[in-house]
Amino acid sequence: MSFQPTETDMTEPPHTARPATAPPALAVASGTGKRTAQTQARSVSLRNLHAYYGDQHAVNGVWLEFPANQVTAIIGPSGCGKSTMVRCINRMHEEIPGARAAGTVLLDDLDVYGEDTDVVAVRRAVGMVFQKPNPFPTMSVFDNVAAGLRLIGTRGSELRDRVEHTLKAAGLWDEVHDRLHQPGIGLSGGQQQRLCIARTLAVEPEVILMDEPCSALDPVATLKIEELVAELSRRYTIVVVTHNMQQAARVAESTAFMLNGELVEHGPTERMFTNPEDSRTEEYVTGKFG
């Protein structure tokens, strides 16, 4: 079965159910298919998600839907658990010693924490872009994009095609096509971040998690990433954690506000910023705290 957004007050619910022919299990990217301009991605839903660092309860019972092919922004003050929550979706949270998660995360109908679910397959379906650009320092621009593809066995001319295709999708091709074999860390900060996005896109995930992707970038580079996010949402389900409320307003169809590990409110971005239901949301978006 597929998940429908449960929000009833969506201004524009653009999603239809996933076709019945959709693969029921999590298909690891085969390395052959190219996503067409408009592709139905998978939705993500969190059901009573809890996350802990040792004794510290960082995420407390979050229920949240991330509709397919939409950009959802997560806002909230520092330390409110928004990054932790997002890292539970691709199970990166558990890489931290002493950290654990409880509750359910669904990718369409697939239980991310299910006993039969392979964590590696989850991470190939759910890509992640980090706060600071982190290209592999020993690899060239080309090899950075190819890193994930090589993991799934893509070789030769197909690899070259996919790298070019992905760099174009990330809006970086024109800037780097003549220095593909120079170190990735020689690029500017904004280019490095788009390189990291390309690296994530290369393995054709369904969902892309972005953990404050622009917080280390200047306004011009930020704008480019935001344009890219809008473009990518036609093909992917995107979750953007951000400190920057203007950014949430610019890129996201819906926005979720978190405070002290709890989800305070979630709804269409415009309503969240103009007419929030919860007084804490209003205080936050109007800059009274945070």
User: Which positions touch other proteins (CB under 8 A)?
Assistant: 28, 90, 92, 95, 97, 120-121, 123-124, 127-128, 130, 132, 134, 136-139, 147-148, 151-152, 183, 185, 196, 199-200, 203
Q: For other proteins, give the closer residue by CB, 179 or 280.
A: 179
- State in angstroms the smallest separation of the CB of 218 from other proteins: 20
Q: Cβ atoms within 10 A of the Cβ of 141, count? A: 28
Q: For other proteins, give the closer residue by CB, 185 or 230.
A: 185
Q: Could you give the strand order of the β-sheet that contains 71-75, starting from the edge strand earlier in sequence?
A: 126-129, 207-211, 237-241, 71-75, 254-259, 262-268
- Residue 216 has phi, psi (to 5 degrees) of -105, 15
Q: For other proteins, give the closer residue by CB, 121 or 230.
A: 121
- State in angstroms the smallest separation of the CB of 139 from other proteins: 8
DSSP assigned state of 93: G
C-alpha to C-alpha distance for 273 and 275, rounded to whole angstroms: 6
Q: For other proteins, give the closer residue by CB, 193 or 254.
A: 193
- State in angstroms the smallest separation of the CB of 265 from other proteins: 28
Q: For other proteins, give the closer residue by CB, 240 or 245.
A: 240
- State in angstroms the smallest separation of the CB of 78 from other proteins: 18
Residue 241 token pair? 């954690």
- State in angstroms the smallest separation of the CB of 147 from other proteins: 6
Go through the chain and tell me how many residues it has: 290
Spell out the long-range contacts of 15-18 with Cβ–Cβ below 8 A and sequence spacing 24 or more. 15/43, 15/67, 15/68, 15/69, 15/70, 18/42, 18/68, 18/108
Q: For other proteins, give the closer residue by CB, 14 or 33.
A: 33
Helix (H) and strand (E) counts in the chain:
10, 10
- State in angstroms the smallest separation of the CB of 183 from other proteins: 7
User: Which stretch of DSSP H or E encloses residue 211?
Assistant: strand 207-211
Q: With beta carbons less than 8 A apart as the criterion, state whether 36 and 30 touch.
A: no
